[in-house]
Structure 1
Amino acid sequence: MDVTLHLAQDPEADALLGRSPLAALTGMLLDQQIPMEWAFQGPATIARRLGTDDLDAHEIAAHDPETFAALLSEKPAVHRYPGSMAKRIQQLCQYLVEHYDGDAEAVWRDADSGAELLKRLDRLPGFGRQKAQIFLALLGKQLGVRPEGWREAAGAYGEAKSYRSVADITGPASLAKVRAYKQELKATAKAAKAAKTAGA
């Protein structure tokens, strides 16, 4: 795996995401309740603070939890909730060590169908169905991982040029489209909530 991604909008962080399967999974894990770029810059920040240019599942899994949480909490923090995210990242790495000998790419390397790959991603700690589908779409659209039925398994995120998630971000223009889509979703949800409250 060595491709050019543009999720962090930062050359160093994006280079790590493109060459490290674990970094890509970690960025996806962090992508909640903070801006997308901040989430995907996280893996590079963690690697830098660990004094390395890559992430190692065995090393992170075995790291002292308090020290690892402190490492994510240093300013600028890796996430709005660095303590809980440090725990989730360690759980993810422990799962990868236990089930895939620490090899993150093994999660998708030999998946024989999109449905099987979705199942594997869905089992990862910190990943629910939506996050698993988005990551599956990212694998298919940008990382060349396309087992049979991958688009269908990824749902709406697998649709070509859907601009619904990080799977479609290839630069500033597509980032703006994805951001606009997310803002539209929030506005629709807010309006629905207001209408429900008014009708109560």
Structure 2
Amino acid sequence: MATDLRLAQNPDADALLSRSPLAALIGMLLDQQVPMEWAFSGPHTLLERLGGGDLDAHRIADYDPEAFAALCSEKPAVHRYPGSMAKRIQQLCAYLDEHYDGDAETLWRDAATGPELLARLEELPGFGRQKAQIFLALLGKQLGVQPEGWREAAGAYGEKNSFRSVADITGPASLVKVRAFKQEAKAAKASGASGASGAGGAAKK
């Protein structure tokens, strides 16, 4: 992974994401119900507390669960829900340890096609289809991982200049665009739900 990711908006955290495939995967795992910068700063926070030069899937998987949860819960916590996310991080690392010998990059290094890579990502603990597609788009757009059919497999997140997700964030300006897109989508969803509720109420009358 030789690129400069700017997802945490913090030089040290972004440097780790840029050189560590496992850090990038953990950041993607944490990217829910918290601001993106918080999620992608999580791996660097973990590394500072664990010590060493990089995150190690085998070490994290074998860490005492209670001690690891406590480590994730120290302030600043790695996530709004540090206990449940500590468990998910360990599950992810255990899966990587068992299926990829702890080497996260193996996930995409030899993937022949976009659909194959998407399927591998969807098998990861904590990765549903949407999260898998967003990470696939991040790999293709910013990390040069572009197996045949990767854009199609990533769906709308693979489109050029879509500014839909972290895959499109390269700095403060693009972060603003992605945030605006998410807010518009959230408002549209809320409006649709409200309309459906109103229609249902009218039908009952």
TM range (shorter): over 0.9
1:132 equivalent in structure 2: 132
2:73 partner amino acid: S
- After superposition, the C-alpha distances for 1:11-39 in whole angstroms (9 at most, x for unaligned) are 00000000000000000000000000100
- Aligned positions, number: 200
2:60 equivalent in structure 1: 60
Distance apart, 1:157 and its partner CA: 0.3
Give me the whole-angstrom Cα distance separating, in 1, the residues matched to 2:193 and 2:155.
25
1:116 equivalent in structure 2: 116
SS in 2 for 1:41: helix
2:93 equivalent in structure 1: 93
1:70 equivalent in structure 2: 70
Give me the whole-angstrom Cα distance separating, in 1, the residues matched to 2:145 and 2:197.
45
Q: TM-score scaled by structure 1?
A: 0.99
Aligned ranges 1:2-41 → 2 under 5 Å:
2-41=2-41
1:194 equivalent in structure 2: 194
2:18 partner amino acid: G
Q: TM-score scaled by structure 2?
A: 0.96
Which of 1 and 2 has greater Rg? Answer: 2
Distance apart, 1:118 and its partner CA: 0.3
Runs of 4 or more consecutive aligned structure 1 residues displaced over 4 Å after TM superposition: none
Give me the whole-angstrom Cα distance separating, in 1, the residues matched to 2:76 and 2:105.
29
Give me the whole-angstrom Cα distance separating, in 2, the residues matched to 1:35 and 1:171.
15
Distance apart, 1:131 and its partner CA: 0.3
1:162 equivalent in structure 2: 162
2:117 partner amino acid: L
Which segments of 5 or more consecutive residues in structure 1 lack a partner in the other structure? none
Give me the whole-angstrom Cα distance separating, in 1, the residues matched to 2:195 and 2:140.
38
1:143 equivalent in structure 2: 143
Give me the whole-angstrom Cα distance separating, in 1, the residues matched to 2:89 and 2:189.
30
SS in 2 for 1:39: helix
2:87 partner amino acid: K
Distance apart, 1:2 and its partner CA: 2.4
Distance apart, 1:53 and its partner CA: 3.3
Give me the whole-angstrom Cα distance separating, in 2, the residues matched to 1:52 and 1:26.
17
Give me the whole-angstrom Cα distance separating, in 1, the residues matched to 2:143 and 2:103.
17
Supply the RMSD in Å over aligned alpha carbons.
0.6
SS in 1 for 2:61: helix
1:68 partner amino acid: F
Give me the whole-angstrom Cα distance separating, in 2, the residues matched to 1:139 and 1:197.
39
2:28 partner amino acid: M
Give me the whole-angstrom Cα distance separating, in 1, the residues matched to 2:114 and 2:2.
21
- After superposition, the C-alpha distances for 1:73-122 in whole angstroms (9 at most, x for unaligned) are 00111101000000000000000000000000000000000010000000
